[in-house]
Structure 1
Amino acid sequence: MSNATQSQANMTTGPGLLERVMLSTLTTVPCYIFFHINVTMLFTLRSKLVFRETSRYVLLYNLLFADTVLMALSQILFIVSASRTYLTYPVCGLLVSIGNLTNEISPLTLVVMSLERYVAVCYPLRHATIITIRNTGVAIIVVWAFCSLNVLTRVLLLLQFPFEQLESLQMKDFCFILVMFLGPLSDDYDKAYTCFVFISASVAIISSYIGVIVAARSASTDKVSARKARNTLLLHLVQLGLSLSSTMHNSLLIAISKTVTSTVLEHILSVFYVFIIMLPRCLSSLIYGIRDQTIRPILLCYLCCGLKLSVVSVKAEVSP
């Protein structure tokens, strides 16, 4: 807790107003682009019946929805911190809880998507009966319920802190996930849960990958389908690694804060924020939008139409 507070206090005396505005602009522009791509992808996945009635697209929508909500929430917290605005503990706790919920949806959804690909390759004749829209919906509900239970546990641990001893519920630090670890038990629980989720998810995805490789050697397996599934599972493993890197962001920031000045720290924080927090949340849209032959033409159509409308509106504003 003391290290987290110290790192946040260092940023309080960081760059001046002009430099903070420039940093905020440089981070907001790429984040806006990532957010626009994700929202367009979500709209694409709801625009056609084939996407709404295919399990892997429904799972992809769930993954993108959680990532997009986390992206928007992270940007709000970043702007609040850059503007040197201090929130109250209840408001910060609510925002951090929503962020934790959506952040933990991603690895579990990747596990379900990997299992779906495993069934598609290893049990192609039973795929239609096992991977149904109903079963997919049940799996998504289980994922959200499990993550919600984890968030509820974090809140209960947080309530053990003696808030009545505080002079005020107004925070003296920026709203930051580590600031909400008000006791050692919360920190220990977070580390244990993170290790459990990512080890379990890694084992599930790697096992699915091995199963697909073994099935690909069978003469009865569609080689093209197996190769695509293998590549998809590798991408899921990369996405899981990127999600893990985002959870390590806080600890890495604290370690760096002990060796650099506050100005350098804020520059590093901005770079980490864009490439470790925001960019991984947009990779799913880019990966599936480019690789999937069904999604790609529709997604490009919506993106190009949006770009044309933006250009037309700008010209209309400029013209007398």
Structure 2
Amino acid sequence: MTKNNSLGGVEFLMRNVNYRVILVQVLVALFLCVNSLLITTFFLKDFFYTTMRYILFAITLLSDCLILILTNILLIFVYFHLTIQMWLCLIFYILSAVYTLVTPVTLMAMTLERYVAICMPLRHAELCSTRSTVHCIIIIHCISSIPCIVILLAFFASASLSLYSQYKICSVEKLFLYSWQSHFMSAIYQLYFLIMCITVVFSYVKIMKVAKAASVEDKKSSWKGLRTVILHGFQLLLCLIQMWCPSIEAAVLEVDFMLYINVRYINFIIFYLTPRCLSPLIYGLRDEKFFHALKYYTLCCLCRNFFIHLTN
């Protein structure tokens, strides 16, 4: 009787896990399709890839796609207890650590771009040129790489060569060989959180002042920019909470492995998927120029496929 109950519990657990995994795959596939459509629209119109805010928008979309793919793979590995060699886990970590920060840092840059566009309109063309955008993208990736570089240097200095060929479940915690490394990461993330919060609040206050003092014609543009900053702030908050997820998961892992799986699943849904579905909403649907281009190219594609189908 006890054996049957145990088997039934295992079957229920596997069924529950499978449903969860399937749900995640559906959501990830949906977001990747939407993001792919937006990225395609971006490259089809000259105006978009010569304008700073749209270029930065494309960077967030590409970063989001990469993070969704990487974290989804790692989530599957954890759920099914699949192990990989540590050198491969290291590659996963480098990409995920850098691009986890690329999105919030880019959002901060987009917030500053809105500040310049509304509060310093005469200097906008100069400060937000295509050349400045390239420099901005390089700076974004440099800033996002700092925590990863420090952790990797500490790991390479202390890890034995045999560790790279060992098979383990891939997670960030496996790379923290000393407690100070996790404390350092937490401190860096809190510093980033503080800087980004100050940037968003500063931009919000300045744009608010301009919106109140603007003429009737400019009020609409100013208030729209203000709403964009608020959405960026909410998106940044979710992204920055996501930075603390590894520390929370590491603490839970010490208590119970199944609880760790459940917490990691919930974190993935709320703090990885949710903020990344806001990017298409903010610029893909709310932005009139991008929305019209998206609608135009989508309809053209559908009509072309329809006529091809008729001729065949």
TM range (shorter): 0.7 to 0.9
Offset from partner CA, 1:101-130 (integer Å, 9 cap, x none): 001111211111111111111111221122
**Residues in 2 aligned to 1:300 and 1:94: alpha-carbon distance in whole angstroms:** 38
Distance 1:80 1:34 in 2: 21
Aligned to 2:165: 169
Q: Check if 1:291 corresponds to 2:286.
A: yes
1:150-299 to 2 correspondences below 5 Å: 150-164=147-161, 169-172=165-168, 174-219=169-214, 222-254=218-250, 262=258, 266-299=261-294
1:267 CA drift (Å): 4.2
CA distance in 1, matches of 2:179, 2:14: 35
Whole-Å separation in 2 of the counterparts to 1:178 and 1:308: 50
TM-score, normalization by structure 2: 0.85
Aligned mates of 1:272, 1:308 — CA distance in 2: 40
For 1:248, the aligned partner's letter is W
Q: Distance in 2 between matches of 1:31 and 1:93?
A: 23
- Other-structure match for 1:5: none
Displacement of 1:309: 9.9
Is 1:125 the counterpart of 2:106 in the alignment? no
Q: Point out which structure has higher relative CO (alpha carbons under 8 A, 6+ apart).
A: 1
Q: For 1:111-157, what per-residue CA distance to the aligned partner results, in whole angstroms no more than 9, with x for missing partners?
A: 11111111111111221122111111111111112223432222101
TM-score normalised over the length of structure 1: 0.83
> Which of 100, 103, 107 is the matching residue for 2:97?
100
Offset, 1:289: 1.5
Confirm or deny: 8 A CA contact 1:253 1:269 kept in the other structure: yes
Unmatched 5+ stretches in structure 2: 1-9
Amino acid at match of 2:289: T
Deviations 1:149-200 (A, max 9, x none): 432222101123242575x73234x211222212122112201110111110
Distance 2:159 2:256 in 1: 33
Greater CA deviation, 213-222 or 134-143? 213-222
**Partner of residue 6, structure 1:** none
Q: Distance between the aligned counterparts of 1:307 and 1:80, measured in 2?
A: 37
The whole-number CA distance in structure 2 between the counterparts of 1:82 and 1:285 is 29
Write 1 or 2 for the structure with the bigger share of helix. 2
Report the 3-state secondary structure (helix = DSSP H, G, I; strand = E; otherwise coil) of the residue aligned with 1:84. Answer: coil
**Deviation readout 1:52-80 (Å, 9 max, x if unpaired):** 11111011111111111111111111222
Could you say what secondary structure the match of 2:288 adopts? coil
1:6-43 Cα deviation digits (max 9, x unpaired): xxxxxxx9975544333211211111111111121111
Question: Can you give the 5+ residue segments of structure 1 that lack an aligned partner in the other structure?
Answer: 1-12, 316-320
Offset, 1:311: 11
Amino acid at match of 1:272: N
Contact 1:157 1:185 in 2 (8 A): no
Distance 1:181 1:256, change over 3 A: closer
C-alpha distance 304-219 of structure 1, shift in aligned 2 (>3 A):
closer
> Which one-letter code corresponds to 1:284 in the other structure?
S
| Alpha-carbon offset, residue 251 of structure 1 | 3.4
